Amino acid sequence: EGRIELDAMMELAELYIERGDRVAATAQLAGLEPFLTGPRFTLFRRAQLSYYRGCLARLDGKQDEARAQFAQAVEGFGSTEAKIVMNVLALIGLAEADLALGENVEAKASIERALSLAGSFVEPGSPSYLVGRCLVARGDAELLEGDVEAARISFRSGSEQLGLTLG
């Protein structure tokens, strides 16, 4: 099944990225090139590819490129009516790239969008690893702005969410 093949190739690239294996991740993503013009490489798949390219660029320390790729992913995921978990991750990636580039206002806006979307996946008051990741990103932004107390609260809340959901 071609659809599964594309997903598997991208997810394998993500595993390489998480391990820090730039060479394997780059090769894996390059292996998708022949499929880019095919009918199965939908707008959603393009958004996924942009997300993984953003992750790879961030791993390489190329924050401008990471920012551009995450922005493309957010735009692609946003063009569908469905709520997509990966959009939360792309928004967090976009915020992290913005923070690295000193664009705190843009980063905070992306974090708040991510937090709102992440919260929409769970019942109010329910723990969520996505909410936890957003709160940690918010803490990073607050810390960079020098608001240590707000950062402490965000980190603590994020840690609680992550602890409840991921252990």
For the chain of 167 residues, list the mean pLDDT of each consecutive stretch of 10. 84 96 96 89 91 96 97 94 91 97 95 96 93 97 96 97 93
Query: In sequence order, which residues have a C-beta less than 8 Å from that of residue 116 and are 6 or more positions away?
Result: none
Q: Helices 129-144 & 104-119, crossing angle to 10 degrees?
A: 160
The alpha carbon dihedral of 144, 147, 149, 153 has a sign of negative
Encoded tokens for 46: 């393009």
> For position 145, what pLDDT does the model report?
93
Distance, C-alpha 22 to centroid of its chain:
18
Separation between Cα atoms, residue 105 and residue 98, nearest integer Å: 9
> For position 85, what pLDDT does the model report?
93
Is residue 82 exposed (0-12), middle (13-18) or buried (19+ Cβ within 10 Å)? exposed
Check: pTM over 0.95? Answer yes or no.
Answer: no
